[in-house]
Amino acid sequence: MSLQDKYASVVSAAQSAGLSDLSVQEQDGVLYITGKAASSAAKDTVWNALGAIDPSYTATDVNIDVQVSGLAAGASLTVATDESNLNIRQEPSTEASIVGKAAKGETVTLIEQSSDDWWKIRTADGEEGYAYARYLKA
């Protein structure tokens, strides 16, 4: 089975969400899906499709890079975790030290969309670091 077949539902979700500049390319055993979403909800559509295939988001054969158009430094974001606090890390990695936490529903400020997975944010208390973008909503 090709990677495009394996992740066909993710590609379909990206198309249905209306991502602009959508690109789907397979290279060196990894499927790269990139594009720009008009909203956090459109971005979530793509991530939810991946979550249906890989609930732990640990697949190494797919790379999704969907930036939310129109989000600039200074934008207010809401922490949208299911139940727990959102870890804020020193570097954009789950291996990096936790430098702070943001509570579910808390408003934070976007410093930069470092990648699709990690955004640099600042809490109301002035803590700065990287948070998993999947749990941030515009």
pTM above 0.85, yes or no: no
What pLDDT is recorded for position 38?
86
Domain 76-137 class in CATH: mainly beta
What pLDDT is recorded for position 70?
73
- Strand 62-68 and strand 30-37: the pairing is parallel
| Helix or strand run (H / E) with residue 131 | strand 128-132
Q: Which residue spans of the chain are classified as CATH 3.30.70?
A: 3-68
What pLDDT is recorded for position 119?
92
What pLDDT is recorded for position 21?
92
Q: Which residue spans of the chain are classified as CATH 2.30.30.40?
A: 76-137
Considering the four listed CATH numbers 3.40.50, 3.30.1370, 3.40.1620, 3.30.70, the one that applies to the domain covering 3-68 is: 3.30.70
- Averaged over successive runs of 10 residues, the pLDDT of the chain (138 residues) comes to 92 93 93 89 89 87 85 89 92 93 95 86 94 88
Q: Tell me phi and psi for residue 11, to 5 degrees.
A: -65, -40
What pLDDT is recorded for position 44?
87
What pLDDT is recorded for position 56?
82
DSSP state letter for 94? T
Dihedral-angle region of residue 4 (phi above 0 means left; psi in -120 to 50 means alpha; beta otherwise)? alpha
